[in-house]
Amino acid sequence: MEVRIESMICVWDDAIPTMFLEFVNLLTLATSEEELRRGVKEFAEKHELDKFFLYGFGSHHFYLHQRYTSNPEMVMKNRVLSVHF
C-alpha cells in the first residue's frame, strides 16, 4: 500500500483538517485492499467524508478529490491523494 499526496487541500471548513488527517492515518494503516475498502466505508459512515470529498476505487488504487463547499456537486480537478495497492 502506497499513499501518495498529490495536491493541497483547501480549508473551506474547520472540520476539513482534522478529518483529512484522521483519514490519512486510516489509509496508511491499511494493510490490504479489503481492509482499505472496509475502513473507508466505516469512516464515511461516521464522518462527513461525502460532504467534503469525492472518492472511489479503480482496479489498483483508491482516489480522493475535494469538493467545493460552496457547491458540493463541483469537484476540484486534481486528486488530493491516491492509494496504490
pLDDT block averages, 10 residues each, the chain of length 85? 96 97 98 98 97 97 97 96 97
**Does the predicted TM-score (pTM) go above 0.75?**
yes
**How much is the pLDDT for 33?**
97
Measured distance CA(83)–CA(60) in Å, rounded: 9
Q: What is the pLDDT of residue 10?
A: 97
Number of folded domains in the chain?
1
Domain extent at residue 42: 2-84
Q: What is the pLDDT of residue 13?
A: 96
- Residue 79's pLDDT is 98
